[in-house]
Structure 1
């Protein structure tokens, strides 16, 4: 009980510190990307570095439902300590893009249940949840493709990506590009699918950045690999 009370006190202190870091200009920028908080991410990371890993505090911060607090919770938690069902609930609660992305990339990918969750989420009727499954699939395409049906993934992308909701479409497009970049035997088909569907073809891309349009993305990354 004493430990819990101490953690609750520390959580309240951290919430006050996050409130003091609130910057209206940062909030304007973040809200353009769908994230409802005004804390500069560099300052958030500095706070996490000072707090170090604290799993119980991370739980307390997550339960506040505050976006900045949840981002901080992700940075100070122990990724391998979460149960499968716990991560499933957390992902469904993570409705802002940054919390969703950090949870998948910083926690789920490092958790022993990641493969089980990848399979479950990829088939989920909620497109935001499904996008997390596709993000985990993209990670496997790049790092551990053994056992994946790459041709089957391309079949699904070809049939479903064009009409998928934005977050899911973006995740499927990333997977398409990764298959084309990493697997020469599937490259021509990946490029062909991208060209035919035209997803993100007109996406505004800043100078010196690679377009997310899969055929352009694949071609550029393969060129860089050959130049190395």
Structure 2
């Protein structure tokens, strides 16, 4: 904790807090600190228990993802309110867990929109890497009915799933684009130059174009 305190930069904290992340540690320096300490599950548990955002990010980097039980991961996701902690926890830990599929099914319908967004993030991973057994048409039905009025973080996760279905599955591409065009979610999202818009129809078209270019 002393090392993390030394790395805290007030300017970085000010920038991070605008995104809901209450810490001031440069992520590159955080990763270097994690590399120096190596994998330590006991240390990860202690860091997580502090409740400090930077400590929890470090905990995620030094933990053993497969060492966590299902109930432990469920509790951690419910505690992870800072967006960066939530994102890293899902992507670096839960996705590598043997409990990922069970948690995906439980979380996607959770009344807490932040927890539900974790379920949708896991679903997006399956859409891209292991779609067998998924009801893609049913997922599009849910997105069409619920995404427009969903809270921000859940809406973002559902939109990512919509785009991924359109990118990965040509048979659903036209429908995915049509849903995006009708709902207009993130249509006006400010996108820096040379970055792809998160507006699903644009996102789908651009990623498909790049793949076709690589294949030709």
State the TM-score bracket (shorter-chain normalisation): over 0.9
Which of 176-185 and 24-33 deviates more? 24-33
Q: Report the Cα offset of residue 195 of structure 1.
A: 0.1
| Other-structure match for 1:4 | none
Runs of 4+ in 1 over 6 A off after TM superposition: none
Match of 1:189 among 160, 172, 175: 175
- CA apart distance, 1:123: 0.6
How far apart in 2 are the matches of 1:180 and 1:82? 33
Alignment of 1:23-38 (within 5 A): 23-38=9-24
Q: Kindly report the root-mean-square deviation, in angstroms, between the aligned alpha carbons of the 2 structures.
A: 0.3
Matched, 1:109 2:95: yes
Quote the offset at 1:32 in angstroms: 1.1
1:89 paired to 2:75: yes
- Partner of 2:63 in structure 1? 77
d(CA) in 1 for partners of 2:74, 2:136: 25
Which consecutive unaligned segments of at least 5 residues does structure 1 have? Answer: 1-14
- Rounded Cα–Cα distance in structure 1 between residues aligned with 2:60 and 2:172: 35
Alignment pair present for 1:167 and 2:167? no
Consecutive unaligned residues of structure 2, counting only runs of 5 or more, are: none
For the residue of structure 1 that corresponds to 2:205, the secondary structure is helix
Q: Secondary structure of the equivalent of 1:156?
A: helix
TM-score normalized by structure 1? 0.94
Q: Distance in 2 between matches of 1:115 and 1:143?
A: 13
- Corresponding residue of 1:98: 84
* Partner residue, 1:151: 137
Which structure has the larger Rg over C-alpha atoms? 1
- How far 1:29 moved relative to its partner? 1.1
- TM-score norm. by structure 2 comes to 0.99
Q: Does 1:209 align with 2:195?
A: yes
- Cα shift at 1:182: 0.1
Residue 178 (1) aligns with residue 140 (2): no
Partner Cα distance (2:185, 2:57) in 1 = 30
Q: Distance in 1 between the 2:19 and 2:32 partners?
A: 22
Question: Which of residues 95, 104, 119 is equivalent to 1:118?
Answer: 104
